[in-house]
Amino acid sequence: MADGLWWVPTILKSIADAVIVGGVDGCVTFMNPAAETLTGRTLEWAEGKCISEVFPLFDEETGRDVEPPQPIAAWELQSVDLPKRLLLRTKLGTLIPIEQTTSPIEENGIILGTVVVFRDVSEQRRHEESLRRRNERLQILSDATGKLLSNDHPEAMVTRLFETVSRHLGLDAYFHFMVNPEADGLQLDSCTGISEAEAQGIKSLHFGEAVCGTVALLKKPIVATDIQNSTDEKVQVAKSFGLRAYACNPLMAGDRLIGTLSFATRNRDRFSDDELEFLEAVCHSVALAKERQRLMNEERERADRHERSAQALIQSEYELRYALEVGRLGSWHVDFPSKEVRCSARCKADFGRGADDPFTYNDFLDCLHADDRKTVIERIEQAFATGVDYEAEYRVYWPDGSLHWISARGRPIDHPNEPTLGLVGLTLDITDRKRNEALLEQQKHILELVVLDSSLSEVLDALCRMIEKQFEAEEMHASILLLDPDGVHLGYGVAPTLPKAYSEAIVGLAIGPTVGSCGTAAFLKKPVYVSDIANDPLWTDFAELALAHGLRACWSHPILSSNDTVLGTVAMYYRHPRQPRANDLQLIDIVTRMATIAIERKQFENELHQRNAQLIDADRRKNEFLAMLAHELRNPLSSIGNAAQLLREDQSGEHRDWANEVLDRQVKHLARLIDDLLDVSRLTHGKIELQRQTIDASIVLDQAVEAVRPTIEQRGQKLTISASREPLPVHADPLRLEQIITNLLTNAAKYTPEGGRIAVAAARLDETIVLSVKDNGVGISPERIPQMFELFTQGDRTLARSEGGLGIGLTIVKTLVEMHGGTVTAASNGPGQGSTFRVTLPAASPEIQSARTPGATKTMTATGTDRNRQGRRLLVVDDNEDTVRSMARLLRLKGHEVATATTGVEAVERVGDFRPEIVLLDIGLPGMDGYQVAQKLRAEKGHEDLLIIAISGYGQDEDRRRTASAGFDHHLVKPIDHDALLTLIGRSCERNPTR
């Protein structure tokens, strides 16, 4: 800087504006303290750096960088348009609004550099913003005040005003209460920002209650701040709404309180002073508007009273006419003796005439129903002659032929000492009332028919006659068609007056989209109104038939059940083209609904009777089954009791073997009974899962035959087997398939006399495998064949009782066959002709056959005796003392060393002490059950080779899966098969012969 200007830095340092001086290269050469303060950078740091780096500018509106003007070696600076609102980013990153000027430093026409002068305008901006907001609020207040004062309904304006104020101040709720003089408190007028339930809680406030009640009591504003941290009782309601700041002002009309108006926010804890001032001004404007409304209402009421008084005379002139119109009353006047008639338009309408149509006394007489004419004339003449009031109800025909009911009342017009001058009176069309009265009476009659269990045809006939009665003047014929059992045709229901030939011709009418009115209505499930059969495309195929019988119009409604299925149709036929009127539609709808009730009730009664018969039969069969069950249980129990008594009294042991055989046989018989009961229960509830594999049905057939052969041989019956030499592959559960065949063979043996014949066959037929069991036994009567597979059904009990049985075997067969995707049928030529049961199963597909597991149907042949030559150490666990002791004795007789336990805890201890090789473990133990015992033993070391066999009364598939997952090796069902148990023990000997 020139030596002559040594004083410039001193001056620049002392001024309040910030100054940055840059050289011609745009780098900083000087900064005064004000510039250092604003930028946050020192001269020492900034010197030599580019002005844009020291003095970074941003456009406040766009946020983009702004490059300061740079000096150039010319007579003027480069032209740069700088934004009007600039922000300076300080060293700390703070953005400060500034104003700046950039000027060149010139000497002798040469640009030496640039000087930038700038200042912080934050306070100026805040002042401008405050001024802007104040102006905005003044504008809001001005607009709102003008609208409030110019609106006859300021209540709606309050809500709009809140929306405007809310956007401006960021408010969340407002509450407007008005004084309720009757309740000595405040009544909520309107509010926003809270739920309907919360608003109900503040519907009314006593003076002094909460913030608004207190404001009303004191007639002074109250401002509540930091509400969520306040313990002030008055603000607890506002606190429960989640509000943080709340300003309430009284609405005053002079010295009179008219209400309160509150504003609140959930976003900050207090309002600024200018906001409170603004809200108070808003409330003042609302109060002015409310008071203006009150004054205007009073003025309007005064004006209305004046207007009503002024109109009283005019109104009285119209009152009668108005009353007549509202009451649908026609007025008439008949002069005497000329009998000239004058009547109102409404009166003419009651007789089917237009307002301008002529209507004379003779016209009146001509339209009267023949049955009513004499009575009406007599009453009119009596009124003229005696001066008594005239009153009559009669029927009249309109020009279109329709019949209507009229109620007429009149009074003679006369003067003292003079004869009657005429009659004046009123008419009322009472057709609907008369129709409804008749309809209600007929509906009552029909409902009585329904309740009194009349036949469906009687009820439907009454319905048709009811609707025909309503249109007797128009010769209407009603018909009801019922849905045919095939579901695609309409059959004859009733048609009391429809030509018989026509009714017979439409029996079996198809349901379709273009099949007359009825077939189409049933198809669409919607009413179909054909006003002219001759020209309607729906009647193309039936028009000739209908027209030949004089039928020109047909309206049909579908009769729909409560679940929207078609039950039939109701049809109304007319002998002239006709469009339905409103009362016609109402009537046919009533008839259709009543038809639905009648038909559904009859269907329900039929279903109820059928169900009742089924329940009676089921109860009978249940009682028979219970009797059979008692018999079947008593027989083996009797034998067991006899054998046990014999063992006690047989000192010599002579009968021991025979008694043991009886006990063994009867226990197995009881087990079979229980297994059958469990099977039918599981099958009924769908709890059996098939373990399918590809097997040869002929092998399973052989196994089943071998299982039943002893019974057949004992009865001396001849058994023949015919099976294909080729494999008969099926994808089935081998155990369940064997159960199917065994049940059929057992049944055949049971119902075939001794020495009879039983034939078993198995063959492939196309894609199926057919198994059949045929006998020459007692046979089945034809009517019982459909019931043979039902639960608890048996054939001839005389023979069956000698063999036992519960009547559930065939039920098990049918269910198991169907689970395999097959069918089972029974056939017989009648009693004494034998019977044939045939099972058809799907043959295994080639893919399944190729996956056949070799040896899948092999059977065990080794005996328990062979496998028990070496004694084992066994632990028997059961909470039943008799079971434990008897099993222990049996096993000791077989040469085994046996220990016992009666609880789960004791069992775990005995395993540790006794070190058994095999544990026979009951499931239902007290405390620690069998599952827990098995899991604990499997979890302990040293028991890896321990064989654990479940002994349980539960034998369902789920029970077996659960014991397997708990660690059991095998699962035996009580009463256990001792041979099966000894076989398992024998397998253990083979597995570990040296243990």
What one-character-per-residue DSSP string does 18-35 give? Answer: EEEEEETTSBEEEE-HHH
pLDDT band at residue 145 under the 50/70/90 scheme: low
pLDDT at 630 > cutoff 80: no
Q: How far apart are CA 567 and CA 557, in angstroms?
A: 11
On average, the pLDDT of the chain sits at 82
Q: How far apart are CA 772 and CA 826, in angstroms?
A: 10
pLDDT at 686 > cutoff 70: no
Higher pLDDT, 582 or 199: 199
Q: How far apart are CA 224 and CA 248, in angstroms?
A: 8
- Answer whether the bond into residue 485 is a cis peptide, omega within 30°: no
Q: How far apart are CA 396 and CA 402, in angstroms?
A: 8
pLDDT at 648 > cutoff 80: no
pLDDT for 585-607, tens place per residue? 888 888 898 888 888 888 888 88
Strand, coil or helix: 622: helix
pLDDT for the residue numbered 303: 84
701 phi and psi angles, rounded to 5 deg: -60, -45
Dihedral in degrees, nearest 10, Cα atoms 31, 35, 41, 45: 0
pLDDT for the residue numbered 731: 93
User: Which sign, positive or negative, has the C-alpha torsion 114, 117, 120, 125?
Assistant: negative
Q: How far apart are CA 388 and CA 414, in angstroms?
A: 11
Is residue 735 within 8 A of residue 774, CB to CB? The reply is no
Is residue 335 within 8 A of residue 422, CB to CB? The reply is yes
Residue from 679, 708, 909 nearest 811 by CA: 679
pLDDT for 105-141, tens place per residue? 887 878 888 888 988 888 888 777 777 777 776 666 6
Higher pLDDT, 263 or 418: 263
Residue 578 — left, alpha, or beta (φ > 0 → left; ψ -120 to 50 → alpha)?
beta
Q: How far apart are CA 891 and CA 889, in angstroms?
A: 6
Most confident of 95-104, 186-195, 323-332: 186-195
pLDDT for the residue numbered 582: 81
pLDDT for the residue numbered 534: 92
State the average pLDDT over residues 685-692. 70
Residue from 767, 698, 735, 730 nearest 848 by CA: 730
Q: Which secondary-structure segment (H or E) carries 759?
A: strand 757-765
Residue from 551, 555, 546 nearest 584 by CA: 555
The residue type found at 565 is T
DSSP β-bridge partners for residue 560 = 566
State the average pLDDT over residues 423-445. 82
pLDDT for the residue numbered 73: 38
pLDDT band at residue 864 under the 50/70/90 scheme: very low
Higher pLDDT, 892 or 667: 892
Higher pLDDT, 304 or 152: 304
Residue in this structure with the two tokens 């087990």, named with its chain if needed: 671
Q: How far apart are CA 875 and CA 884, in angstroms?
A: 10
pLDDT at 862 > cutoff 90: no
Is residue 377 within 8 A of residue 390, CB to CB? The reply is no
State the average pLDDT over residues 174-181. 91
Residue in this structure with the two tokens 């220990």, named with its chain if needed: 899
Residue from 747, 757, 746, 772 nearest 717 by CA: 757
pLDDT for the residue numbered 77: 45
Percent of the chain topping pLDDT 90: 31
pLDDT for the residue numbered 149: 53
Q: How far apart are CA 310 and CA 803, in angstroms?
A: 111
- Which two three-digit tokens encode residue 6? 């040594």
pLDDT band at residue 153 under the 50/70/90 scheme: low
Q: Which residues contact 784 (CB under 8 A, 6 or more apart)?
A: 793, 795
User: Which sign, positive or negative, has the C-alpha torsion 885, 887, 890, 891?
Assistant: negative
Higher pLDDT, 992 or 623: 623
Residue in this structure with the two tokens 């083996």, named with its chain if needed: 636
Most confident of 443-452, 515-524, 701-710, 981-990: 515-524
Residue from 571, 565, 574 nearest 517 by CA: 571
pLDDT band at residue 626 under the 50/70/90 scheme: low
State the average pLDDT over residues 417-425. 75
Residue from 988, 940, 938 nearest 968 by CA: 938
pLDDT for the residue numbered 866: 43
The residue type found at 733 is D
pLDDT for the residue numbered 242: 94
Q: How far apart are CA 331 and CA 495, in angstroms?
A: 43
pLDDT at 888 > cutoff 80: yes
Is residue 252 within 8 A of residue 258, CB to CB? The reply is yes
pLDDT at 969 > cutoff 70: yes
pLDDT for 555-566, tens place per residue? 999 999 988 999
pLDDT at 842 > cutoff 90: yes
Q: How far is CA 86 from CA 82, 120, 128, 458, 827, in A?
A: 8, 10, 15, 98, 106
Dihedral in degrees, nearest 10, Cα atoms 503, 506, 507, 511: -140
The CA angle 401-405-408, to the nearest 5 degrees, is: 125
Q: Which residues contact 353 (CB under 8 A, 6 or more apart)?
A: 359, 399
pLDDT for the residue numbered 74: 38
Q: How far apart are CA 526 and CA 606, in angstroms?
A: 28
Q: How far apart are CA 734 and CA 739, in angstroms?
A: 8
Higher pLDDT, 89 or 336: 89
Q: Which residues contact 589 (CB under 8 A, 6 or more apart)?
A: 557
- Answer whether the bond into residue 975 is a cis peptide, omega within 30°: yes
pLDDT for the residue numbered 147: 60
pLDDT at 178 > cutoff 80: yes
Q: Determine the length of the chain.
A: 995
pLDDT band at residue 351 under the 50/70/90 scheme: very high
Q: Which residues contact 596 (CB under 8 A, 6 or more apart)?
A: 559, 560, 561, 562, 567
Is residue 673 within 8 A of residue 710, CB to CB? The reply is no
DSSP annotation of 851: T
- Which two three-digit tokens encode residue 250? 């009284």
Rg of the Cα atoms in the chain? 54
Burial track 488-512 (b if 16+ CB lie within 10 A, e otherwise): ebbebbbbbebbeebbeebeebebe
pLDDT for the residue numbered 898: 92
Q: How far apart are CA 635 and CA 632, in angstroms?
A: 5
pLDDT band at residue 419 under the 50/70/90 scheme: low
Q: How far is CA 657 from CA 49, 230, 654, 740, in A?
A: 124, 97, 8, 33
State the average pLDDT over residues 517-541. 92
